[in-house]
């Protein structure tokens, strides 16, 4: 007997692309139901993340026109990761497996077939992984690769070239629900679950319509969020940096004393001035890194809810 599949699609100001996204997803899900791959109760769940355009009105219209489409409206904008999580948690109560994907049609919808095949083979988590980054600019490709490598080196576990296009079984979602942190970085949390995983590769297309919701500033903030949410190694690096600077200062002191005892003046005041500026910069940088972690502790200590649901269309 086929299992129930929900496809969770977070949406923020996606009125330009939403009709085409719904059309393609409905066609894919209908074909899978017709082939007996998934159950008739399978649905597409669009999650409105506090959009300022007509996204929610469109979701309501699409829901009225097609029973395969459901909708979830958050009370306000809570960010992509919280919107994905909200959709996953709502779908968890209704589905055996849930696939999350973005609304911009860059992720290959046909990869859903491969994900379900891996799921039926016993995988609780199936990652959609890009086979290449030829469609990205050289800058974006380089920075993305640097992020994945840096995050893994700093102790985080992320899947290379994977974003948030993945399948999760109900068992995996129940495990994910136990992770209660407010500073959410799903790409790093999901690999921690430890269940059997699979990988489906696909070619990422250009955005069908609309503008990207992740400009450079948001991408950098997202990368910083991921690194500081997954690892404490940046703090440990500051500790070793402090030890190194202390040893250098001892060496410089010994050098100055030797020069002074030999009757020589110590030259290089310009070097000392530059060193003071450099050390001052390192101190401020270190305080900034510590501030990031303290800020996260402050937010976590409040135990505030990550989102509120306004309405569900079923």
User: Strand 162-169 vs strand 69-74: parallel, antiparallel, or unpaired?
Assistant: unpaired
Name the token pair of 144.
């993305």
Question: Of 20-24, 100-104, 128-132, 297-301, which range is least confident?
Answer: 297-301
Q: How far apart are CA 18 and CA 28, in angstroms?
A: 15
Tens digit of each residue's pLDDT (9 = 90 or more) over 207-225: 555 555 555 566 666 666 6
Do 124 and 226 meet the contact criterion of CB atoms below 8 Å apart? Answer: no
Instruction: Give yes or no for residue 247 having a pLDDT over 90.
Output: no
Phi, psi (deg, nearest 5) at residue 250: -65, -40
What predicted TM-score, i.e. pTM, was given to this entire model?
A: 0.74
The strand ranges marked E within 131-196 are 162-169
Tens digit of each residue's pLDDT (9 = 90 or more) over 71-130: 999 999 988 889 999 999 999 999 999 999 998 888 889 999 999 999 999 999 999 988
Higher pLDDT, 125 or 272: 125
Q: pLDDT-derived band of residue 253, with 50, 70 and 90 as boundaries? A: low
Instruction: Give yes or no for residue 252 having a pLDDT over 60.
Output: yes
Higher pLDDT, 280 or 99: 99
Q: How far apart are CA 237 and CA 286, in angstroms?
A: 9
Higher pLDDT, 19 or 287: 19
Do 8 and 84 meet the contact criterion of CB atoms below 8 Å apart? Answer: yes
Dihedral (CA of 206, 24, 99, 88) sign: positive
Q: How far apart are CA 45 and CA 28, in angstroms?
A: 14
Q: Name, in order, each residue with C-beta under 8 angstroms of 17's C-beta and a sequence gap of 6 or more.
A: 103, 104, 105, 207, 208, 209, 210
Q: What percent of the chain has pLDDT over 70?
A: 72
Instruction: Give yes or no for residue 20 having a pLDDT over 70.
Output: yes
Reply yes or no on domain 5-231+304-313 having CATH 3.40.950.10.
Answer: no
Strand order in the sheet with 162-169: 197-202, 125-130, 162-169, 97-100, 5-11, 43-48, 69-74, 309-313
């Amino acid at each position: 007997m086929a299992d129930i599949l929900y496809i969770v699609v977070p949406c923020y100001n996606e009125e330009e692309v939403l009709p085409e996204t719904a059309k393609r997803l409905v066609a894919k899900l209908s074909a899978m139901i017709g082939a007996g791959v998934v159950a008739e109760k399978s649905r597409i769940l669009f999650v409105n993340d506090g959009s300022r355009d007509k996204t929610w009105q469109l979701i309501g219209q699409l829901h009225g026109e097609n029973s395969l489409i459901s909708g979830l409206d958050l009370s306000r904008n809570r960010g992509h990761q919280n919107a994905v999580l909200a959709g996953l948690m709502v779908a968890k109560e209704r589905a055996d497996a849930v696939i999350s994907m973005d609304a911009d049609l860059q992720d290959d919808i046909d990869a859903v077939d491969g994900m379900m095949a891996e799921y039926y083979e016993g995988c609780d988590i199936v990652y959609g992984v890009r086979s290449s980054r030829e469609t990205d600019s050289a800058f974006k490709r380089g920075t993305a690769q640097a992020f994945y490598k840096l995050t893994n080196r700093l102790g985080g576990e992320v899947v290379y070239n994977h974003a948030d296009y993945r399948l999760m079984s109900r068992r995996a979602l129940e495990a994910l629900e136990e992770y209660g942190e407010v500073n959410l970085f799903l790409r790093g949390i999901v690999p921690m679950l430890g269940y059997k995983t699979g990988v489906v590769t696909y070619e990422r297309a250009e955005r069908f319509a609309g503008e990207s919701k992740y400009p450079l500033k948001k991408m950098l903030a997202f990368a910083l969020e991921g690194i500081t949410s997954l690892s404490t190694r940046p703090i440990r690096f500051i500790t070793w940096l402090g030890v190194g600077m202390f040893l250098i200062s001892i060496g410089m002191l010994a050098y100055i004393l030797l020069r002074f005892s030999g009757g020589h003046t110590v030259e290089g005041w310009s070097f000392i001035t530059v060193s003071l500026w450099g050390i001052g910069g390192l101190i401020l940088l270190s305080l900034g890194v510590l501030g990031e972690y303290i800020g996260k502790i402050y937010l976590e200590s409040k135990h505030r809810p990550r989102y509120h649901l306004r309405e569900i269309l079923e």
